[in-house]
Amino acid sequence: MPDARRPDPVRALAIGALALLLLAHAAVSSAQAPASPQPPRVRLLATGGTISNRAGGRLTAEELVKSLPGLERYARPEFEQFANVSSAELTLAQWLQLARRINEVFQQDRDLAGIVVTSGTDTLEETAYFLNLTVRDERPVVVVGSMRNPSTLGYEGAANLLEGFRVAADPASRNKGVLVVLNDEINAAREVTKTDALRLQTFQSRAYGLLGEVDSDRVVFYRDVVKRHTSKSEFDVSKITELPRVDVIMVYQGAPGDLITSAAAHGARGIVIAAAGAGATSGTQGQALFQVASKGVIVVTGTRTGSGRVAARRRPPATTTGAQPAAPAAAQAFAGRELFLSAEDLAPIKARILLMLALTVTENPAEIQRMFMQY
């Protein structure tokens, strides 16, 4: 009678063989299983702004990236310090350098998913729109900032920057132009504007609405951008050495025209009128506009209201009193061509940017009006 306490050698061999087979199968399955995909690479180009403006010294691009817990879930970050100043201190020359640098990075690194740019919020919408017209790649450029500095209770900069990386890493962000991401919201650079001096929800697109949102589970887009931008832009910053002077003149009751003639006398090649309503001027502004336009200064009319489209016209903008400026000689000089161009629905500060770039390509009013209709 066999001893039940002694192991059965046959049974033991069978169990051992089965274990070896299971281990071998596990090893083969592990080798055949696809590796978890790495998150896309995204580069930060930091220019400064409130998001970096810590008491005692500004945060660097490296410090900003290292302050983002969980970033590695969404992107493999890279960082580069382009500048570290307030947005109002960025010069037009630096705008050109920044656009050239972004184009250079994209050209040299075809596997890079996107780029995040930090900016001060005061002029963020201007920088974003300039890049929207001058970055010539379909990959996303996302501009972020913050309304509170890192030394302030409730600093939201880290959250905005993390969301900027998430949007730049998302394939759905391609071909939408430059994007502005703050406060969980995605706006188009062309349409967004700063609407409040202090509140966190300051960046809005007013009647146009959001492009999308950044939620805990994913990046969501609700609509697309139909105007020309980035990869379809005709503006080549590699060929631009300096941006021409373009000034913005505000219309207000009884405004003098000498501000307009002075701008032209000091070298303005273009003037954008932030007109009352749908294009009205006031005081002696109408006469001054005829005068400078007759000398070749390009005049573009927008609206100071914050929204709405100004239609193109051949006559000068009406004054708020209803009287038209008397300048028949100047008017005759413009027979057969556009006299005062329309900014369409562009805010005056963005119309200035488009006009500066347009003047690097042409001085033909009809061509410039085409650009305002397309961009």
Three-state SS for 325-341 is: CCCHHHHHCCCCCCCEE
Which position has the token pair 């650079």? 189
**Residue 271, phi then psi, degrees to nearest 5:** -135, 130
Number of neighbouring beta carbons within 10 Å of residue 374: 14
Of the candidates 50, 134, 193, 230, the residue annotated as catalytic is: 50
**Where would I find the H helices in the chain?**
9-32, 61-66, 92-108, 124-134, 157-169, 258-265, 285-293, 328-332, 348-358, 365-374
DSSP assignments along 209-224, one per residue: --SEEE-SS-EEE---
Query: What's the rounded Cα separation, in Å, for the pair 139 and 168?
Result: 8
**Burial of 311: CB neighbours in 10 Å, binned 0-12, 13-18, 19+:** exposed
Indicate if 50 belongs to the active site: yes
Asked if residues 186 and 134 have their Cβ atoms less than 8 Å apart, the reply is no
DSSP assignments along 49-104, one per residue: SGGG--TTSPPPHHHHHHT-TTGGGT-EEEEEEEEEE-GGG--HHHHHHHHHHHHH
Active site residues: 50
